[in-house]
Amino acid sequence: MKGWTASDIPDQTGRTAVVTGANSGIGYITARELARHGAQVVLACRSEARGAEAAERIRAQVPGADVRVAPLDLADLKSVRAFAAEHKGDRLDLLINNAGVMALPYRRTADGFEMQFGVNHLGHFALTGLLLPKLLEAGPGARVVSVSSFMHMLGTVDPRDLNMERKYGRWTAYARSKTANLLFVHELSRRLRASDTRLTAAAAHPGYASTNIATAAPKLEGRRGTQRFMEIGNRFFAQSPDNGALPTLYAATAPDVHQDDFFGPPFGMWRGTPTRSARAKWTRDDKAGRGLWAASERLTGVRYDALAG
């Protein structure tokens, strides 16, 4: 693993990947590098126009890249179900749950969920469950990779207030959604082991990478001072999106990835090539994982009937 780079990605010829939020940042790099190594990649993007632009950039950088765009709005379960229905006949080897929002003012998804919890966790929970049959059919090497954050260290999931209706804090909500990502992978891994499948669930985080996720909320709200502060941080302290994508790519393709692994940069969890990452003890709590799973099934209406409970 030491010094691992994108050039170390094994041949992905014959494999199909879905990457959510693939039009920019970590998702774009992930999609590009999977395509560079032979995978057919579906860019699952909220904006078809931005997705199409990203696909053209990938084709320009990787001649012959097999990429296509499909609409997916993780803030709307109807869109998630439509995406899954559209791809129910396709092969699927890799599902990269990458898309996310960060530190937004309080707002709700189309289904009434707090936006960060709804997009970062529930949307991906539903998507994974709906695509699970295709992943299970793919055979050895099939994987689900969820992108979390070192910020998960700042917040546990409160099962009594999943939508943070009692007291909302934008950064607390973000941290809880990233903890939810890890609890999801932990419980999914447990169920995959119990069901004796060849599908692997793992997680990754980019450290501090220079992407637009940090500036999106202040830009949306017109908080120019905060936006400028984030831009300065991206410029002087963050690592590049290319390096930030390496933990995700490692989790998706490296041969030594096991159930419930978590990869990220080694230096202060901010920078560097991928390694197994530290994580908060509450992200390995079996009771919390089962509780979040049950709540997620109830809220989304998506059940993982193919797996043992």
CA angle 121, 174, 16 (to 5 degrees): 40
Which is catalytic among the residues 28, 106, 168, 174?
174
Secondary structure of residue 113 in the 3-state scheme: coil
Q: Classify residue 105 by its DSSP letter.
A: P
CA distance 245 to 135: 22
Helices (H), the chain: 25-36, 48-61, 77-86, 115-117, 124-137, 170-194, 213-221, 224-236, 241-244, 246-253, 286-300
DSSP 208-255: SB--THHHHHHHHHT-HHHHHHHHHHHHHTPBPHHHHTHHHHHHHH-T
The verdict on whether 250 is a catalytic residue reads no
CA atoms within 13 A of residue 202's CA, in its CB half-sphere = 29
Nearest-angstrom CA–CA distance, 127 and 59: 26
**Catalytic residue ranges:** 174
